[in-house]
Amino acid sequence: MPVTKNAEGPQEAATLKLDLMPSPKSTKKLQNKDSGFLDGSSSESSGLEKTKGITAFQTLVHLVKGNMGTGVLGLPLAVKNAGILVGPLSLLVMGFVACHCMHILVRCAQHFCRRLNKPFMDYGETVMLGLEASPSVWLRSRAHWGRHIVSVFLVVTQLGFCCVYIVFLADNLKQVIEAVNGTTHNCHNNKTMTLTPTMDSRLYMLAFLPFLSLLVLIRNLRVLTIFSLLANVSMLVSLVIIAQHITQGIPDPSRLPLATSWKTYPLFFGTAIFSFESIGVVLPLENKMKDARHFPAILSLGMSIITALYIAIGALGYLRFGDNIRASITLNLPNCWLYQSVKLLYIVGILCTYALQFYVPAEIIVPFTVSRVSERWALPVDLSVRLAMVCLTCMLAILIPRLDLVLSLVGSVSSSALALIIPPLLEIATYSSEGLCPLTIAKDALISILGFVGFVTGTYQALDELIESEESLPSSNSTIFNQ
């Protein structure tokens, strides 16, 4: 899921992600109370929960925005880990497979909605009902596990996003501060400069902790609306500036390898699948459409736009910077005030988005914890759990300070399960009693197996890279770069 991965829509994405999970009663009440937050306008009275729904164009915009986060900034390095030919081709295939898995999820949810005469089905509930429809007695008796597994992966994914954000914030702020003495208004000077060393990256992460702690104490979605809008404006402006820079002065591409070693390909897989993290908003968007019959076409169009954008940014970023590409392409931008402002804008956007991504796991974990104490202690426990969770994400970010490894780990562990492994197995379980074509079963099994292989190899390779580099901090934000 993410708000995905990533900064989602102004108001919609945070609530859209909330629709995915088997939230407890207190969470559902909160969602109903704050339904006006869904609206993208300033009027609280016209939310998306109204009967009129959202248009096809609005659905398309939400779907595209749901994929625009930090993951797209790591795609140039991902392409480097695969090769200038293999990388874009793999992104194309992964985009097609991810889109197909989203169609599977929608089709299965619609199947159970018709059978049970329900207007809407979330991801966890769909998986649970799919297991109940399985011919296996063992799976039927443990159908509730499916819902819990989806919830766990959602929590892991969202907290993983938060860890990525902390590393991203530290890397970019550190580089801005270290380069401030040499920052000029001339963005066309190609001389190199050495950054002035400052404090350790991990200290920058700790410096953000008080601000993040204050943000996560905000429990009202309507208050977070302002932060969400600010995040989207900041990131949109930043992406436009980045895109115009990487299309200028591309050197000879023949010097880049068409394919790289198979050892680095799992890192590409983890980062790439981390970017395709809009499966979390698929069912909520389909439910809120004015005419849901058009949703499959909108989904295909949206994923085509997203895949084309990913391929363009990944390939052009690698072509532009070659082997010098960093974990985030923002770290490769020239040292002039225009491009330093891009980093500052993205810092503001990601800082605001942290609270939105954090809201999702908080609304699963906090109500569960609060329900086990008396009403007198409800508020102190609520705030304590939130502070403990934000400290946990900061601690994990400090333990794994390499942005590329955090991206790959989160993508391999949770994103691959939600986007590639579970949907094909869900289709088999849902329709097996009604008869499935052997080719469909083979196709679903192949997708799940490939997703599982990516899950295992991506996680192993990221952990292996982490062990090898644990003695020294990354130099991603403390080396020379072109001015």
* Residue 299 tokens, joined: 């989904």
Beta bridge partners of residue 376, listed in sequence order: none
Pick from 37-51, 104-118, 254-268: least confident: 37-51
CB 339 within 8 A of CB 245: yes
> Which candidate, 326, 329, 334, places its Cα nearest to that of 312?
329
The residues with which 54 forms a beta bridge, in sequence order, are 289
pLDDT of residue 5: 41
pLDDT tops 70 at residue 481: no
pLDDT digit string (tens) for 238-257? 888 888 888 887 888 888 88
**Residue 384: predicted pLDDT:** 92
Angstrom distances, CA of residue 158 to CA of 6, 9, 364, 392 = 9, 16, 11, 13
Dist CA 232 CA 234 (whole Å): 5
Average pLDDT estimate for 373-401:
90
Domains of the chain: 12-41+54-482 (1.20.1740.10)
pLDDT in tens, 318-330: 999 988 898 888 8
Mean pLDDT computed over 199-221: 86
Give the pLDDT confidence score for residue 40 in this predicted structure.
32
Determine the pLDDT at residue 86: 94
Which tokens hold the place of 426? Answer: 């869900």
Per-residue pLDDT averaged across 148-170, rounded?
88
From 255, 473, 467, 226, select the one nearest 353 (Cα to Cα). 226
Cβ of 341: how many Cβ atoms within 10 Å?
15
Is a pLDDT exceeding 50 seen at residue 290?
A: yes
**Burial status of residue 244 (CB atoms within 10 A of its CB: 0-12, 13-18, 19 or more):** exposed
The pLDDT score that the predictor gives to residue 188 is 63
Q: Rounded CA gap, 414 and 1, in Å?
A: 9
Copy the structure tokens of residue 365: 């974990």
Give the pair of three-digit tokens for residue 175: 């580089």
By CB neighbour count within 10 A (0-12 exposed, 13-18 middle, 19+ buried), where does 92 fall? middle
Whole-prediction pTM value? 0.76
Three-state DSSP string of 92-128:
HHHHHHHHHHHHHHHHHHHHHHHHHCCCCCCHHHHHH
- Average pLDDT of span 146-156: 88
